Structure 1
Amino acid sequence: MENSSRHSSTVTDNNPRTLRVGSWNIGTLTGNSIELVKILKKRKINIACIQETKWLGTNTKDVDGLKLWFSRKSRSRNGEGILVDRDLRDQVVEIRRVDDRVMTINLVLGGITLNVINAYAPQAGLDKEDKRRFWEDLDKVVRGIPLTEKLLIGGDFNGHIGSFSNRYDDIHGSFDFGDRGEGGVSLLDFVNAFELVTASSSFQKREQHLVTFRSVMAKTQIDYLLLQKGDRGLCKDFKVIPSENISTQHKLVDMDLEIRKKKKKKRVQYDQPRIRWGGMTGGKAQEIRMKLVGMGAWGSSGDTNSMWARTAGCIREAAREVLGVSKGCTSRHQGDW
């Protein structure tokens, strides 16, 4: 886990910003890092989840102004990374590399805490134990994110959710591609459990802007961007970009998400009713004085503390009766006190 210095955001209530998030299985970063960054800059992508980096180790690297966090602890796996552009790199406050298949970064944008998770699911032919461990790790990471924080997930899930929603009507917009497979069922069950949605299913697109993997033998959709169900209205667009290539059969996917600063609710304090001392006049003061005499406020005895407590109590009681009290709901503004 790493920490970075906090940086104030320029996001305001009147000037929301659009955050463009992408995901791409690039095959390898070796020899491709500069070309990758050029494409991300051209497409104005702020944050990119990338899979199959092939760079061994857990490290951070500056790539032509963008900051890359990558992880590949084992040569038997292909690794992954997250790239953040120049404007946001200093707003990353935490990085967590769970393993070579799940990593997350945490950013603060205009008072909003945003968690971005990169996920790289095992391929269909791999051991079931690897798949179980992947979903357990991803499940644990998401459960650890407070409900008050925002969540985005990008990755290669190696599963087909298909073009029909069937029993997933609430999270599937029926705008995806192909037929559903076993991996797609696992993904939809995960999405449903955490009240997420797939961005791709919310927008009607032509086939070329839905297919994320294309080869001589097949074309399908296995790369996804997920967001919280409550933020579906903030997602302004999703698309696959078929024209960009980096020696890979996977295509770049991205979505535009509107980020607004949280509006602070006015803090209201509920106090005990207060005496309206502002209503004191000469006549009221004389009335209070007469009441105090009748209460015997000046005839108390004992030590100094007990005498003062008795007299002060009498003063408050007489003032309440003569001057009245407030309603008891206050903020910093003192109203008619």
Structure 2
Amino acid sequence: MTGEGRDVADMMERRKVDVLCVQETRWKGSKARSIGGGYKLFYHGVDRKRNGVGVILKGEFVNNVLEVKRVSDRVMSLKLEIEGVMVNVVSGYAPQVGCELEEKERFWSEFDEVIESILRGERVVVGADFNGHVGEGNRGDEEVMGRFGVKERNLEGQMVVDFAKRMEMAVVNTYFQKREEHRVTYKSGGRSTQVDYILCRRGHFIEVSDCKVVVGESVARQHRMVVCKMTLEVRKKKRGKTEKKTKWWKLKNEETCEEFRQKLTHVLGGQDELPDDWETTAEVIRETGRKVLGVSSGKRKEGKDTWWWNEEVQECVKRKRLARRKWDVERTEESRQEYKETQRRVKREVAKAKQKAYDSSNKCQTT
């Protein structure tokens, strides 16, 4: 990908691609870098002359990254949270046909470990150059692939099918009937084959509405980009009603506080001292509060702040979240210390805000 980053970004924007798995990046190191157009590449490689894998994200999803696992220069994964749904994107580059069997087995062992480490309820999307042909037709393999592969299956293609069976995944490319031009992923020297695939968990295949090879792009000389349209099903959790609570936070308003004080004094018969029976006094205070301040509906409200919340706390929490995301991506000692410091700062601000709110409330309730 050396020197082609901006071309890839332009292509992704033109084709409206949000996430792209790339192989043979040939970039040494384990970093994340901008490639232009708001797109960011997370990559891993150990040699500038061979291998290397990466995942490119559209700018709006960069801050959704929770974890990056760089297993080897052939396997890496990236976990994102999108509207409450955990999505794991895995990029892979399998050894070519002429490589030693030991190297191929090591690759599949690493790939198995990555998939097995992901919780079953989370989404998994694999974008990989498996260097194998799963072939046309699916007799005996209907549970993991469709009928629309290309040509005959080879040994490396059988490894892909076996992997899909072990991990209960579906080879997405093969389920959509397209012209051969939109199924061939690799062209070189008169040869046309299918070696690049997108896989997802069989249980989530219903979220995929289309998959095809993009024709007419010249970013990669021999490989063609495989695109998949996937719409996440976000299930909203049902939440029960909460207990109706007095809106004590309204006492922060001076006029409301004065109204509450006068009403409470009136109910107590104008006495300067509270009755000896605390239970009776407490009930009088609560009842007066309900009448003057009102009560909540008993329904949860998204984004409802707690009664002691203020702008200082909100700003500190925002900084803490940004620091956490930075640490998750970079994993450096400096970013870790920065995150720890923001945690301590939030605790201090929360304690100060609560104490200030309590003092204000106690002052208003004093008669």
1:202 and 1:164 mapped to 2: Cα distance? 10
Tell me: CA distance 1:264–1:134, structure 2 relative to 1, closer, same or farther (3 Å).
same
Q: CA RMSD, aligned part only?
A: 1.6
Corresponding residue of 1:42: 14
Aligned to 1:101: 74
Asked if 1 retains the 8 angstrom alpha-carbon contact of 2:26 and 2:49, the reply is no
User: 1:238 aligns to what?
Assistant: 211
Residues 186 and 195 of structure 2 are in contact (CA less than 8 Å); yes or no, is this contact kept in structure 1? yes
In structure 2, distance between residues paired with 1:218 and 1:127: 23
Task: Tell me what 2:137 maps to.
Answer: 164
**Number of residue pairs the alignment of both structures matches:** 242
User: Is the 1:238–1:256 contact (alpha carbons within 8 Å) kept by the matching residues of 2?
Assistant: yes
- Asked whether the 8 Å contact 2:51–2:93 carries over to 1, the reply is no
Contact preservation (8 Å) 2:66, 2:79: yes
User: Do the aligned residues in 1 keep the contact of 2:184 with 2:194 (CA within 8 Å)?
Assistant: yes
Relative to structure 1, is the Cα distance of residues 237 and 48 closer, same or farther in structure 2, using a 3 angstrom cutoff?
Answer: same
Distance between the aligned counterparts of 1:175 and 1:249, measured in 2?
21
Q: How does 1:66-85 map to 2 (within 5 A)?
A: 66-75=39-48, 77-85=50-58
Q: 2:198 aligns with which of 208, 211, 225?
A: 225
For 2:24, which of 52, 57, 62 is the aligned residue? 52
Residues in 1 aligned to 2:197 and 2:120: alpha-carbon distance in whole angstroms: 22
Distance 1:250 1:136, change over 3 A: same
Work out the CA distance in 1 between the residues paired with 2:11 and 2:220. 13
Q: Which runs of 4 or more aligned residues in structure 1 lie more than 4 Å from their structure 2 counterparts after TM superposition? A: 265-268
Alignment counterpart, residue 117 of structure 1, candidates 71, 90, 115? 90
Aligned identity (percent) is: 34
| Gaps in structure 2 of 5+ consecutive residues | 242-297, 300-367
Higher relative contact order (CA 8 A, sep 6+): 1
Q: Matches of 2:136 and 2:156 in 1, distance apart? A: 14
| Structure (1 or 2) with the greater helix fraction | 2
User: What is the Cα deviation at residue 56 of structure 1?
Assistant: 1.4
Residue of structure 1 in register with 2:166 after alignment: 193
SS in 2 for 1:105: strand
| Cα shift readout 1:166-219 (whole Å, capped 9, x = no counterpart) | 210111110111110001100000001111101111110001100000112310
Q: Deviations over 1:139-175 (max 9, x none)?
A: 0011110112111100100010001112101111101
CA distance in structure 2 between the partners assigned to 1:221 and 1:60 by the alignment: 29
TM, length-normalised to structure 2? 0.64
Question: Residues 245-283 of structure 1, C-alpha deviation per residue, up to 9 Å, x if partnerless?
Answer: 125200011100011222314569xxxxxxxxxxxxxxx
What is the CA deviation profile of residues 48-68 of structure 1, one whole-angstrom value per residue up to 9, with x for unaligned ones?
Answer: 000011111111101111111
Structure 1: 5+ residue stretches without partners = 1-28, 269-331
TM-score (norm 1): 0.69
- What residue identity is the alignment partner of 1:31? G
Equivalent position SS for 1:87 = helix
Distance 1:71 1:262 in 2: 34
Residues 65-101 of structure 1, C-alpha deviation per residue, up to 9 Å, x if partnerless?
1111111113563211110001111101111100000
Q: C-alpha distance in 1, partners of 2:169/2:188?
A: 30
* Residue in structure 1 matched with residue 357 of structure 2 by the alignment: none
Q: Is the 8 A contact 1:110 1:260 kept in 2?
A: no
